[in-house]
Amino acid sequence: MLTEQLLSIGVNHFLTISVILFGLGMFAVMTRKNAIVILMGVELILNAANINFLTFSKYNGGMEGVMFSLFVIVLAAAEAAVALAIVINIFKTFKTVDVSSVDTMKE
Amino acid sequence: MLSLIVFLPIIAGLIILAVPSSQKQIIRIVSLLGAIGQGVIAVLIWRQYDPTMAGIVAAPGGSLAGSFQMIERVPWISLDLGSFGPLNIEYLLGVDGLSITMVLLTALISIIGVLSSWTIQKQVKGYFILYNLLATAMMGCFVALDFFLFYVFWELMLLPMYFLIGIWGGPNREYAAIKFFLYTLFGSVFMLLVMIGLYFSVIDPLTGHHTFSLVAMADQANYIKGAILGPDNVTWRYVAFIVLFVGFAIKVPMFPFHTWLPDAHVEAPTPISVILAGVLLKLGTYGMMRINFPLFPEVYQAGLYVIAVFGAINIIYGAFCALAQQDLKKMVAYSSISHMGYVLLGLAAANSEGMVGALYQMFNHGTITAMLFLLVGVIYDRAHSRQIDKFGGLASYMPVYTGLVIVAWFASLGLPGLSGFISEAFVFVGAFSAPVTRPIAMVSVLGIVFGAAYLLWSLQRMFLGKRKPDALYDLEVDAHGHEHIHFHDWKGKLDLDARELTMLVPLAVIIIALGIYPMPVMGLITTSVNKLVQVLAPVAMSAVH
Amino acid sequence: MMHSLIQLSIAVLLLPLLSFVVLIFFNRRLPRGGDFVGVGLLGTTLAIALYIFWTVIVQHYDPAFRVAWDFTWLDFGDVPGVGPLQIKMGIVVDNLTAIMLAMVSLISFLVHLYSTGYMHGEPLYGRFFAYLGIFTFSMFGIVLSDNLFSIYMFWELVGLSSYLLIGFYFHKDSAADAQKKAFLTNRIGDIGMWLGILILYSQFHTFGYQEIFEHIKNGDFHMSQTWLTAAGVLLFMGCVGKSAQFPLHVWLPDAMEGPTPVSALIHAATMVAAGVYFVARIFVMLTPDALHVIAFIGAFTAFMAATIAITQHDIKRVLAYSTVSQLGYMVLGLGVGAYSAALFHLLTHAFFKACLFLGSGAIIHAMHHEQDMRWMGGLYKKMPWTFATFMIATLALAGLPLTSGFLSKDAILAGALGFASVEGGGVFYLIPVLGFGAAVLTAFYMGRQIWLVFFGESRTHLKPNAAHSLDDHSDGDVDHIHDAHHGGHDHHPVHEVAWNMRLPLVVLATLSVFIVFSPDPLDGGKGWFMHLVQTPATVVSVTGTSHESAGLGAPEAGKLLATAHTDTEHVEAAPAQGHGAEAAHEAGEHHGPVFTDPRQAEIAHMTHENHYTAIKLSSIMIVIGIGMALIFYVFRIIDPDKTAQTIRPLYLYSFNKWYWDEIYDATVIKGSMLISKILAWFDANIVDGIVNGVATVFRKFAFFNGGVDKYVVDGLVNFTAFTVQTTGAVFRKIQTGKVQTYLLMVAVAVLGWFAFYFAHLVK
Amino acid sequence: MNQLTIAIIFYIFAAVTVLSAAFVVFSKNVIYSAFSLLFTFFGVAALYVFLSADFIAVTQVVVYVGGILVLLLFGVMFTNTIMQTELKADVLHMAPGILVTLLLIGGMLFTFYTTGSWMPGEMQLNGSVVESIGLETMSRYMLPFEMVSIVLLVALIGAAFLARYDKANKK
């Protein structure tokens, strides 16, 4: 039974992986101070999302998931570019990428 | 004409808006021209003004033309509220004896203020735009005869004042600005409620609709029986009166609503202090005379004693606080609390002498206290401090400055021959003649001594005697044995320079001239004040004498 | 149309103002600081004033002479409940005014002249003359004005000029303190005066003397009689302040910080006399009770000041206290109803006291600003002119016969005696007693001063380093001190002053001789003054029956009494309206007209009765006084210092001016100190730490106010803000500004949602 | 090839993905995490293949590995000098983070397995989707496609602008 479960790769497997990726990404974004790592976390989250898209689109036979995962990737690229640019600017200004120390707008 | 004088500063402000902010001199000159234009129009109005027309209420038959002058009346907002009937808000301007002096004062102080703003270096453009907005709002308050319009100008005044204090102020400016803002807002919110209540209780006899016109409201015949503020609804009329009174008393400022004043003054830049003390405080008492008292005469008659008591508290309490101050500007601020107390006392007298005294005191306090703040600003520019004990012996080194200081100081302590004396004298004359306020007048006379005390004391500590060991300026003796002083980082002329003289000398001249022969101003107001006294006391005046 | 005299007096009023305006602005640009402007303009003023004097006094020699003119100053329109209301300003010229004008302008001119010598080389030389100008202007204003409002205005202006002149050496802290003290003390007096004015105005809605008196006479005064008395006493408070009467006398001695010519002009001759002049103006409306108060205050002041004067060392302080004492005489005279005598004394005193001050100024000038009499002496050889004039003036002040002072002081004392006997003796005899006591002391301290200053050996070399301690010159250590000083002062020999300082002395001394005022050296009543300035009939109806008593002048009273009164008065009434020496003689017998008011008539009568008693008594007193002075200082039969030791408590009491300053400190300052302590406790426990590090007591008290202001009233406002702020602060903790924390919270929220969801699921 | 081998391959890639992702997150060294991110991306790409989205897988490799990862690496290079001893980015509130993460994961999984098992639809994607992607792109997703391209363009320009060498600062 369980072996059968394990052997027949189904929706749940993919969802589980995506959840784990999402969790890890979330963790990175929440806890790490280094802006770069945070960005990586974001990428993880996006990937998790992508996996979900594709999973459901596969097992439902629609093309929507596929298309959207495509868009997600594009946007992820854009996001990464802009975000890194910002990070570099922050580094220029504050000589650090420690986001917790970049709190000029606080109060 | 009145619209022009009201909105001229706005026009100047718009022009400034177009000027690039780097062109500081052009900006200054534009707003100076605006202020001067305002002054010119004010003088024209003054020339055209007919002092025999009373004002206060409409002429017999309900027409304004018979009593007010230079009336401008345009329907402004009129929309049909269905069950409430049409909502008519008018753009209604006009002057009478109460407002004409204030118009003159406002125009004068605006010019002085621009001149004294010349030294402002920080964000000149924004400053002068706000300044002109303020000038418009003040002038508008004094000439508006429609309560709604008045309220609009009243609120319009808050905003620029808030920023002018909050941005260009001293180290503690945010606190002061917020305090000023909250206090005044508190007052005006209630004013709004009362205004609406009045709107629904007053019918304009000419149109038969509800109206915001203060002139209609000032006539008790126009009130609807049974309305919220109708003649028979005594309780609510008392409440409304008190609420309005508090609203205006905050501006006066009257004890215990006065604590915003010292902070605001200490933090505000010199020109703003001048405007604040010279014009804004007058709005409180002007509002009382124009709105608060005529609309609820019977409550006013009942409350004379209380108002007088508050006046006396202001006089003596303010004088004591002033005596305690180390900061010269704070002392002057408290002194103006004390002097506004005279106005309240005169208003409480409910007879012509007192009221004329009060109105005249409003004008004189405007000029005198403006001069005081300018003088404080002069020394602050040089020494970057206002600690009274950090000077001493200045009279030997800055004779011209000291001369003007002596004029202003003695005018403020009510020396005969200077305008302050006459107004205070007639306030006392009126307050003493009215049996209700007689005992309070006898107490308040002590204010004369305390006033002299703190002014002379500060005068001695700053100007007489010798240089204090920890004074803020250095003393050096040249080859000829002459002593010279110089302030640490002051490059300009030690004694008053041309710009400061052009600000101060006219004020001094006005103070002296009006102290010797007050009729030029007093003649404008007596007719209206007599009318006002009649309106306030329909019962036989013989009760007063 | 305007009377020519009015025009002239307006000129008199305005010329000194012109001098002030010119000098205050241009003194630095003019050569010699523009002193010639001041002197020249004052000379013109003097000429005009003398012309007025000539016209009024000599040409129409009429007790009832009076021209007035006024104009509407303020127009209140048709005031509800009052009707048309105008405030008028005006000028009145009568005998008294003319005399005062002449006196003030003369002394002012002389002082101007004198100052060109005395103040020469001062840095602010020109400004000094400017101040003198504004003072003279306001003094003329007081003299000329015909209503209470304008007199109050000029009253305060005089205070201002006094303030400026006392503080002329403003860089000296003592001067700065003195000027402040003077102004504030006067202000306290002025409050009373102002309240009095208010009482009268509130009844009559006018400030004019004439209208007010008319109203009172017609019984329009609707408040109680007590209020009228109060009005009188309060108005008198103005005089108490200006004329340095007890209890407000403390400022005058300190005012000697000013330059000596100022002391002569303001604090001896004119300004301090203004109070007396003012009381004279309002004399007719003073109720008997008010008059009693005035009389007692005057008598007490006269005596107290005299006792203080006998022990002072500073030559100017002796004169200052003698001024206070003499002013006390005048007030006393007014109080007892010896109206003309009091004013007569005002005039004579002005001359000889000004002469004394200018003389002392000359001495100080010559002694290189040495003011302590203990280091003077033997000056009569070196300064003969000064000595002669000073001597004459001293005799006049002491009230020796053949001097003007004798005439006036004797008249006052006679009045006091008469008053006492009328009022039925008892406590009222205190007044003449104090008066005569003061006479003794006056003679004594003036004799002492003359001796210390002019006779004996020069003691300049005796001055030790620490001067002004009590008994620091016993003969034992003379040589030692001499060596120590090695003739410090002798390098500058003392010499007579220049003509421009000598001339005023001579003029004033001449005016201190009896013949100027009265042909009879024993009776001022025979003089022109007593004839021209006569006691006006009171308008206050004590009995309520004297309403028909008309007018302030003699003739009406004279006409009236033909019908009204007893034969004794009848006989004396007729001449009162005649002219010439004979009439003057007769009228002089009775110090003016006969009164319909029984009390006044009685007093006048008794005064006449007591005239020669007064002469005898006062002569005796003077002899005693001068005798004592001789015994103490000339023949050294009794050593003053030893006496001082034996009666040390009394001596100190007098030397420390009856401790008035200390008493005021003790009462006012200590009292409020106690209050402030209580309040401080209140602060420490209720409103925390308000009154910290406060120096003077007023400031403590005021700081408490400031504190209440800051903490209580303000506190209520801030409390509202505070609550908002704290809640805000709590939530602000969450607002770390870190996106990640926000994200964490989002996640937590999601978890919360999960929990919620599962809760459903489990069911 | 039979189901077993497929399963085994799947698990291998899954493991690679998850473990490398975990390494990305937990490694103290930014460089390491950057490189391990590479493996994650590859793993994910492989998973895409399992999901019969080969084109996406390729895109993933090209875009992420070729683009984003390089960017990230550059970012790391710019912002940390390699030489500097501690590249370790220390962490902010660790404990709550972990807790929340675990709870999150647990909660989600629980949801998956409790809210009825996912039934595959009757027809599934099989084989390559490249052709249908092309069709969709040009027909149904025309507008979004253009939009996205514009967005990408704007973003790139913006990024270039932001990251450019700023003279104003150096002045």
pLDDT of residue C575: 39
Cβ within 8 Å, pair D107-C751: yes
Which residue of chain C comes nearest to B465, CA vs CA? C171
Distances (CA, A) of B44 to B39, B70, B143, B362, B520: 9, 11, 15, 22, 15
Percentage of chain C with pLDDT > 90? 0
Cβ within 8 Å, pair C751-D114: no
Distances (CA, A) of B260 to B43, B244, B370, C291: 33, 19, 18, 51
Cβ-contact B524, B51 below 8 angstroms = yes
Helices (H) and strands (E) in chain A, counts: 4, 0
Percentage of chain B with pLDDT > 70? 97
Cβ-based burial of C295 (10 A; exposed 0-12, middle 13-18, buried ≥19) = buried
- Residue labelled with tokens 């800055």: B398
Cβ within 8 Å, pair D97-C744: yes
pLDDT of residue C570: 38
Residue B414 has what DSSP assignment?
T
pLDDT of residue C572: 40
Q: Which residues between 101 and 140 in chain D have a beta carbon less than 8 angstroms from any beta carbon of chain A?
A: 101-102, 104-105, 108-109, 112-113, 117-118, 120-125, 129, 132-133, 136-137
Q: Which residues between 255 and 274 in chain B have a beta carbon less than 8 angstroms from any beta carbon of chain C?
A: 255-256, 258-259, 262
pLDDT of residue C492: 56
3 state DSSP class of B484? strand
Q: Which two tokens stand for residue C138?
A: 């306001």
Whether the pLDDT of residue C528 is over 90: the answer is no
Q: Report the C-alpha gap between B486 and B398 in whole angstroms.
A: 11
pLDDT of residue B111: 92
Residue C107 has what DSSP assignment?
H
Q: For residue range C263-279, what is the model confidence (pLDDT) as tens digits?
A: 888 877 788 888 888 98
In b/e form, how buried is each residue of B314-328, taking b as 16+ CB within 10 angstroms?
bbbbbbbbbbbbbbb
pLDDT of residue C477: 37
In SS3 terms, B174-191 reads as HHHHHHHHHHHHHHHHHH
Minimum mean pLDDT among A102-106, B370-374, C216-220, D27-31: which range?
A102-106
Cα angle vertex B451, ends B450, B455, to 5°? Answer: 115
> What would be the CATH architecture of the domain defined by A2-94?
Orthogonal Bundle (1.10)
Q: Which two tokens stand for residue C199?
A: 């009482």
Cβ-based burial of D19 (10 A; exposed 0-12, middle 13-18, buried ≥19) = middle
pLDDT of residue D91: 63
Q: For residue range B192-229, what is the model confidence (pLDDT) as tens digits?
A: 888 888 888 888 877 777 888 888 888 888 888 877 88
Which residue of chain C comes nearest to A33, CA vs CA? C740
* Bridge partners, residue C78, by sequence: C84
CA-based nearest residue to C12, from C55, C57, C43: C43
List of chain D residues whose C-beta atoms are within 8 Å of the C-beta of residue A66: 53, 55-56, 125, 129, 132-133, 136
Mean pLDDT within C364-371: 77
Q: Report the C-alpha gap between B8 and B11 in whole angstroms.
A: 5
- Position C9 confidence tier, pLDDT thresholds 50, 70, 90: confident
pLDDT of residue A21: 92
Mean pLDDT within C318-344: 87
Whether the pLDDT of residue B105 is over 90: the answer is yes
Sign of CA dihedral C427, C432, C596, C566: positive
Q: Report the C-alpha gap between C155 and C152 in whole angstroms.
A: 5
Q: Kindly report the nearest CA distance between residue D39 and chain A, in angstroms.
A: 12
- Residue labelled with tokens 């009292």: C671
Mean pLDDT within B457-461: 83
Mean pLDDT within C54-58: 83
φ, ψ for residue C693, nearest 5 deg = 50, 60
Q: Report the C-alpha gap between C344 and C340 in whole angstroms.
A: 6
User: Nearest CB to B324: which of C188, C702, C717?
Assistant: C702
Question: How many other C-beta atoms can be found within 10 angstroms of the C-beta atom of residue C659?
Answer: 12
First-to-last alpha carbon distance for chain B, in angstroms, is 42
Q: For residue range A79-107, what is the model confidence (pLDDT) as tens digits?
A: 888 888 888 887 777 777 777 676 666 55
Which residue range forms the structural domain that includes residue B96?
2-544
Question: How many other C-beta atoms can be found within 10 angstroms of the C-beta atom of residue D84?
Answer: 7
Mean pLDDT within C665-682: 48
CA-based nearest residue to B295, from B356, B241, B250, B347: B241
CA-based nearest residue to B89, from B189, B229, B210: B210
Mean pLDDT within B432-460: 85
pLDDT of residue A46: 92
Cβ within 8 Å, pair C717-B179: yes
Q: Kindly report the nearest CA distance between residue A104 and chain C, in angstroms.
A: 9
User: Nearest CB to C80: which of B445, B466, B534?
Assistant: B534
- Position B453 confidence tier, pLDDT thresholds 50, 70, 90: confident
Q: For residue range A24-53, what is the model confidence (pLDDT) as tens digits?
A: 998 888 888 778 888 888 889 999 999 989
pLDDT of residue C493: 65
Whether the pLDDT of residue C1 is over 70: the answer is no
Query: What is the H or E stretch that residue C756 is in?
Result: helix C739-762
A contact chains, 3+ CB pairs < 8 A: C, D
Mean pLDDT within B393-404: 84
User: Nearest CB to A26: which of C735, C737, C747?
Assistant: C747
pLDDT of residue C475: 39
Q: Kindly report the nearest CA distance between residue C725 and chain A, in angstroms.
A: 14
Mean pLDDT within D78-100: 63
- Position B361 confidence tier, pLDDT thresholds 50, 70, 90: very high
pLDDT of residue B544: 41
Minimum mean pLDDT among B97-106, B361-370, C111-120: which range?
C111-120
CA atoms within 13 A on the CB side of B95: 27
Q: For residue range C457-489, what is the model confidence (pLDDT) as tens digits?
A: 777 666 665 444 444 444 333 333 333 344 344
- Residue labelled with tokens 């989250």: A45
Interchain contact D15–A (C-beta under 8 A): no
Interchain contact C748–D (C-beta under 8 A): yes
pLDDT of residue B344: 92
pLDDT of residue D166: 57
Interchain contact C652–D (C-beta under 8 A): no
- Out of 3.30.499.10, 1.10.1760.20, 1.10.1060.10, 1.20.120.1200, the CATH code matching D1-91 is 1.20.120.1200
Whether the pLDDT of residue B522 is over 60: the answer is yes
Domain residue spans of chain D:
1-91, 127-171
Q: Which two tokens stand for residue C33?
A: 């600081």
- Residue labelled with tokens 């390491």: D32
Mean pLDDT within C577-595: 45
3 state DSSP class of A10? coil
Minimum mean pLDDT among B183-187, C24-28, C370-374: which range?
C370-374
User: How many residues are recorded in chain C?
Assistant: 763
Q: Report the C-alpha gap between C62 and C576 in whole angstroms.
A: 10
Q: List, as one string, the DSSP characters of C519-546.
A: SSTT-GGGSHHHHHS-PPPP---SSS-G
Instruction: Using CA atoms of B334, B339, B344, B350 in order, give the dihedral in degrees to the nearest 10.
Output: 170
Omega within 30 of 0 (cis) for the link into B469: no
Please give the model's pTM, rounded to 2 decimal places. Answer: 0.73
Mean pLDDT within B175-192: 80
Cβ within 8 Å, pair D10-A13: yes
| ipTM attached to this prediction | 0.66
| Contact yes or no, B with D (3+ CB pairs under 8 Å) | no
- Position D83 confidence tier, pLDDT thresholds 50, 70, 90: very low
- Position C40 confidence tier, pLDDT thresholds 50, 70, 90: confident
Q: Kindly report the nearest CA distance between residue A105 and chain D, in angstroms.
A: 19
Mean pLDDT within D154-161: 86
Cβ within 8 Å, pair C741-D93: yes
Question: How many other C-beta atoms can be found within 10 angstroms of the C-beta atom of residue C579?
Answer: 12
Which residue of chain C comes nearest to A106, CA vs CA? C737
Residue C709 has what DSSP assignment?
I
Q: Which residues between 78 and 107 in chain A have a beta carbon less than 8 angstroms from any beta carbon of chain D?
A: 78-82, 84-89, 91-92, 97-98, 100
- Position B84 confidence tier, pLDDT thresholds 50, 70, 90: low
What's the one-letter identity of residue B227? A
Interchain contact B533–C (C-beta under 8 A): yes
List of chain A residues whose C-beta atoms are within 8 Å of the C-beta of residue D67: 77, 80
Mean pLDDT within B474-495: 74
Query: What is the H or E stretch that residue B23 is in?
Result: none
- Residue labelled with tokens 């000589």: A95
Distances (CA, A) of D28 to B189, D25, D77, D85: 59, 8, 16, 12
User: Nearest CB to A99: which of C735, C739, C744?
Assistant: C739
Q: Which of B385-394, C517-526, D142-151 has the highest mean pLDDT?
A: D142-151
Average pLDDT, chain C: 75
Q: For residue range B155-164, what is the model confidence (pLDDT) as tens digits?
A: 888 888 888 8
Whether the pLDDT of residue C722 is over 90: the answer is no
Mean pLDDT within C492-519: 77
Higher pLDDT pick, C588 / B291: B291
Q: Please enumerate in sequence order all residues whose Cβ is within 8 A of that of C168, keeping only pairs 6 or more positions apart, or say none.
A: C124, C128, C131, C175, C258, C259, C262
Distances (CA, A) of B161 to B133, B167, C130, C696: 9, 10, 44, 37
Q: For residue range C558-579, what is the model confidence (pLDDT) as tens digits?
A: 444 433 343 333 334 333 343 4
List of chain A residues whose C-beta atoms are within 8 Å of the C-beta of residue C736: 103, 106
CA atoms within 13 A on the CB side of B179: 24
Q: Report the C-alpha gap between B439 and C664 in whole angstroms.
A: 27
Minimum mean pLDDT among B104-108, C11-15, C573-577, C735-739: which range?
C573-577
- Residue labelled with tokens 């109720």: C287
Interchain contact A5–D (C-beta under 8 A): no
Which residue of chain A comes nearest to C746, CA vs CA? A30
Cβ-based burial of C200 (10 A; exposed 0-12, middle 13-18, buried ≥19) = buried
Query: What is the H or E stretch that residue B144 is in?
Result: none
Question: For chain B, how many structural domains are there in total?
Answer: 1
